[in-house]
Structures are given as structure tokens and as C-alpha cells.
Structure 1
Amino acid sequence: MSAHDLEEYEAEMELALYREYRDVVSLFTYVVETDRRFYLANQVDLQVRSAGGEVFYELTLADAWVWDVYRSSRFVRSVRVVTFKDVNVEELAKPDISLP
């Protein structure tokens, strides 16, 4: 496999992942960004912790979807994330009327 073939394969995988995201985003309530991953979730619990003078974040998600092109299963029941970088949690706007 050439470098060009590999780049083309990765671009196709990213496009398929974006299309999957577009199809499932309306099923979720929150968008969560960490330094390593992007998640969609219906329940989010974010706790700021401190140990030895260091601050870290403990994040628990339920009913989640993980943006990761290399995961075989992106839907997960529960996710626990610990990170030392900031976490961004946003509630998605739900339209009042959905069109068929």
C-alpha cells in the first residue's frame, strides 16, 4: 500500500465517521470535548478533583458515542475519562419541531 493509498483510506474513514456523527447527533443531549476525544452523550457528570496540588477532571458519561475512527464500536453504555486538561461540555439545542 502506497502513502497515497493510505492517505486516501484515512480520508474515506474520516468522511464515513463524519457522516455517522451527522446521523446520530440528534439522538444526544451533550457534546463533550476533552484533550484526546470528542463525545456525544445523554448524561454527563463532571467532577473537578485535586490530589497532591494537581487539579484533574473526572468525567463520567452514560449512553455515549465516541468520535474515534479506529473504534469498531463507537456506541458505549458508560465512559469514565480522567484528564488534566480542560473539559468542554455543551448542551445541544433541540428543535421544537422535527420534520419527518
Structure 2
Amino acid sequence: MSVDDVEEYEAEMELQLYREYRDVVGLFRYVVETERRFYLANRVNVKQESRHGEVYFDVTLEDAWVWDVYRPKRFAAKVRIMTFRDVNVEQLAQSDFDVPS
């Protein structure tokens, strides 16, 4: 495989992922963004925790979809995320469901 083949494959995978996102975004109420991943979910619980002077976030998502091109199954009943960075949670408005083609 050449470098061009790999790049073409990765571009096609990203396009497929975007198309899947476009198809499923209307099924979810929240967008959750961490430093490593992007999620869609219908239930979100964020707890700020502190242990040994370190602050972290314990995030639980239910009925979730994970934006990850290398993940074979992106739907998950429950996801738990622990991160030392901020977590951005936004509630989707109905108009947010109109994703351009």
C-alpha cells in the first residue's frame, strides 16, 4: 500500500463517519466533547471529582454514539469517561438537526 492509498482510505472513512453522523444526529439530545472524543447522547451526567489534590471529571453517557473512525460499533448503551480536562456539553436544539448534505 502506498501513502496515497492510506490517505485515500482514511479520507473515505472520515466521509463515511460524517454521513453516519448526519443520519443519526436527530436521535440524540446532547453533544459531548472531550479532549479525545466527540459523542452524541440522550443522557449525560458530569461530576467534578477531586482526589489527592487533582481535579478530574467523571462523565457518564447513556444511549450514546461515539465519533471514532476506527471504532467498528459506534453505538453504546453506556459510556464512562474520566478526564482531567474540561468537558463541553451542549443540548441540541431542534434546528441543530438540520445538517447540510
Percent identity, please. Answer: 67
Report runs of 4+ in structure 1 exceeding 4 Å deviation: none
The equivalent residue for 1:22 is 22
Is there any run of 5+ residues in structure 2 with no aligned partner, and where? 96-101
The equivalent residue for 1:87 is 87
Q: How does 1:30-45 map to 2 (within 5 A)?
A: 30-45=30-45
Which amino acid in 1 is paired with 2:49? R
Which amino acid in 1 is paired with 2:8? E
Write the distance in 1 (CA, Å) between the matches of 2:81 and 2:48. 12
Alpha-carbon distance, 1:94 to partner: 1.7
Write the distance in 1 (CA, Å) between the matches of 2:56 and 2:86. 8
Is there any run of 5+ residues in structure 1 with no aligned partner, and where? 96-100
Write the distance in 2 (CA, Å) between the matches of 1:87 and 1:11. 27
| SS of corresponding position for 2:50 | strand
1:73 lines up with 2:73 in the alignment: yes
Aligned residues: 95
The equivalent residue for 2:55 is 55
Please report the TM-score for the alignment, with normalisation by the length of structure 2.
0.93
Alpha-carbon distance, 1:29 to partner: 0.1
Please report the TM-score for the alignment, with normalisation by the length of structure 1.
0.93
Which amino acid in 2 is paired with 1:28? F
Alpha-carbon distance, 1:24 to partner: 0.3
Write the distance in 1 (CA, Å) between the matches of 2:11 and 2:94. 30
| SS of corresponding position for 1:81 | strand
Alpha-carbon distance, 1:41 to partner: 0.1
Write the distance in 2 (CA, Å) between the matches of 1:55 and 1:24. 33
| SS of corresponding position for 1:20 | helix
